Amino acid sequence: MNETVVTVAGNVATDPKEKVVSNGARVVSFRLASTERRFDKGLGEWRDGATAFYTVSCWRTLAENVKSSVTKGQPLVVHGRLRVSSYDDKEGVQRTSIDIEARALGHDLSWGTSTFLKATNGVTSPERQAMAALARELDEETAFDPATGEVLDDPHEQDAA
C-alpha cells in the first residue's frame, strides 16, 4: 500500500494532549496551523494566505518527548504520514479532517533557537521535563538585539568569569 508522506512547517495551535490507548501505548496529539506567506511585489510587503490546520499524532517514545518539549505557539516542522478523511459534524455538515501521524518533528530554527537533550532509558519523564524547563529558562535569559543579532546578555559568559 502506498502512503503519502508530508513535511509541514507551522505553529502549534493547541496544547499537546496525552492519551494512553487500550494496548498501553501513549499518543500525544495537537493541532498545527500552517499559513502560506507570499511577497506582494506591488505593495512591497509580505501577505498571509490561507491557513491549513492539521491534527498531529505522535506515538510511543515520540509522544513522550513531544509532551516534554512542545507547547502551544511554538514553530515546528512536522514530517509524517498524511491522512485525509471526511465526516459529518453534529449539524450534519460534511467536514474534512487532515491528520499527520508524525514520524519526526522539531522546532523550526528559522524562528529561534532550541536546546536538545538526548532521551535515555535511565531518565524519567519528570526529570526530562525539569531539564527542558531549565534549558528554556537559560534561553529566556539571553537577549538579542534584533537589528544586529548581537547577544546583549549571555549568562554563559558570566559563568566563565
58 within 8 A of 21, measured Cβ to Cβ: no
CA 97 to chain CA centroid, nearest Å: 19
Please name the helix (run of DSSP H) or strand (run of DSSP E) that holds residue 20, with its range, or none: strand 17-20
Q: 7-32, pLDDT tens digit by residue?
A: 999 999 999 999 999 998 999 999 99
pLDDT for 126: 64
pTM greater than 0.75: no
Using one digit for the tens of pLDDT, what is the confidence trace for 54-73? Answer: 999 999 999 999 999 999 99
- Residue 158's pLDDT is 44
Strand partners, 54: 32
User: What domains are defined for the chain?
Assistant: 1-108 (2.40.50.140), 115-161 (no CATH)
Mean pLDDT taken over the chain = 83
Mean pLDDT of 81-100: 95
156 is written with which cell numbers? 554563559
Convert the pLDDT of each residue in 94-139 to its tens digit. Answer: 999 999 999 999 999 999 998 887 776 644 456 666 666 666 665 5
